[in-house]
Amino acid sequence: MDPRMAELLTPYLKFLNGRELGPDDSLRERGLDSMQSINVLFEIEDVFGVSLPDEDITDATFATGGTLWTAVAAQLERQEVSS
């Protein structure tokens, strides 16, 4: 997981309690609720310059920082290939 991803997510994780976010930590258990997903997506667009396709917007993608990063990294790669 890119450190920028952990940094981006941390403000949404009210139950992180000062710990560092690991790639396999459940985002839900750390406090991310589905209503905040849209804000996370906006931040991903701002920080990484990519947007996730609609079919990636699932519980599985938002399960952990690691799974979310995998989805973002796939879009970054696609962007590089096409540019």
Partner 1 sequence: MTAAPLAELVGRVTKVAEEHVRRTDDEATFPVEALEELRATGLLGLQVPAGEGGLGGSLADVLEISTELGRVDMSLAMIFAMHCQQVAAVLAHADGRLREELVPEIAAGRLYLGSVTTEAGKGGHLLTAESAAAWRDGELLVDRFAPIVTGGQQADGFLITLRSPDSEADNQVSLVYASRAQVEIEPAGGWNPLGMRASDSGAMKLRGRLPAHQVVGRHGDFHTIVTTVFGPMAHLGWASCWLGTAAGALSRVIASVRGSRGKTDLSSELLMTRLSRARQRLDTVHALISHAREVVETTADLSVPKVQLLINAVKITAAEECYRAVDELVDAVGMRHGYLRDSPTRLEQSLRDLRSAVLNYSNDRLHLADGRLTLLDQEVRFA
Site residues (CB under 8 A) for partner 1? 14-15, 17, 28-31, 33-35, 37-38, 41, 51, 54-55, 57-60
The whole-angstrom separation of Cα 59 and Cα 64 is 10
Query: Which is closer to partner 1, CB of 3 or CB of 46?
Result: 46
For the CB of residue 67, give the shortest distance to partner 1 in the complex, in Å. 13
**Six-digit token string for 17:** 């309690």
Nearest to 79 by CA among 56, 54, 55, 45: 45
For the CB of residue 52, give the shortest distance to partner 1 in the complex, in Å. 9
